[in-house]
Amino acid sequence: MNAKLAATFLPGSGVFSKQALSIVLLPRKPIHQLTRNFATEVFSRPVIIKPQAISPLPSRLEAWLRDFQTNELIDIITLDRHVFGVPIRRDILHRVVVWQRDNWRQGTHSTKTRSEVSGSTRKVAPQKGRGKARVSTRRAPQFVGGGRAHGPHPRSHATDLPRQVRELGLRVALSSKFIQDQLYIVNNIDVPKPKTKELTDLLNRRLWDPLAIERRAGHSIMFVGASRTRNFELAQRNLQRVHYSTAQEVLEAGDVYNIIGHEVLVLDQGALKELELLLNPYIL
């Protein structure tokens, strides 16, 4: 057994810790040494596993199920290794994020050509006899206030990406959160009253300090539930660095951008089951 893996093996459980999983799954090269061949793809050297070596994935992935209101540990649940234990692929994450941001662009940029600029069409100077260049109208592109030659016009920036790549991107993003200890599973996502102060106090008790969220750049939380609850939706919408979504919305949008862009990811039981059911490539 590998010395690093042996140090993180949990005796008697047949389970490797997240540290062992990260040792095997993370690329051997640092990110600054990866070769970039195309504008939207980054390729890293694959990790080669010998036929009789230890499996790169533990036999079982487990996580605590917590009570959202009291933060008490309720139970230990088993996670789908095909959804939360896949190898980290930075190139896949990059492709999905580029695809998302392309689709978000409004494409409403526009400029006026010489035929659209207001002004007279009178010829500025005689064609011959001046010893200077020929000019026609003041609306020509070379004049100040004239039209724009080959300028941008409204268009769609949306690109296509295969569904299998989008789903793989979601699996990689969820696996990265699990490996980095930034994934929390709760029984439900709701608050008794639609009050931002109550939600702020609740997050403070969870050690997800909302003051730190507002003060420290990059610190944010993403909540994903099976369905939207009105009280929680009203309570969280005034917190800038708290994002709320449903599992169906994440799947339809291939929302890798928000998953890896928020520091903490919180799933409820319903969202967890839905993600495992629809993202497992071996379930037809």
pLDDT tens, position by position, 154-173: 999 999 999 999 999 999 99
Most confident of the ranges 7-11, 29-33, 144-148: 144-148
Compute the mean pLDDT over every residue in the chain, rounded to the nearest whole number: 80
Tell which residue, 270, 243, 273, 269, has the closest CA to residue 258: 243
β pairing state of 9-10 and 15-16: antiparallel
Tell which residue, 13, 69, 36, 61, has the closest CA to residue 199: 69
3-state secondary structure of 155: coil
Q: What is the mean pLDDT of residues 57-80?
A: 86
CATH superfamily for 3-104+161-279 is Ribosomal protein L4/L1 (3.40.1370.10)
Q: Count the neighbouring beta carbons within 10 Å of the beta carbon of residue 11.
A: 6
Percent of the chain with pLDDT over 90: 59
Tokens of 33: 């040494």
3-state secondary structure of 38: strand
* Residue 39 pLDDT > 50: no
What pLDDT was estimated at residue 282?
A: 84
Percent of the chain with pLDDT over 70: 74
CB 86 within 8 A of CB 49: no
SS (H, E, C) 217-250: CCCCEEEEECCCCHHHHHHHCCCCCEEEEEHHHH
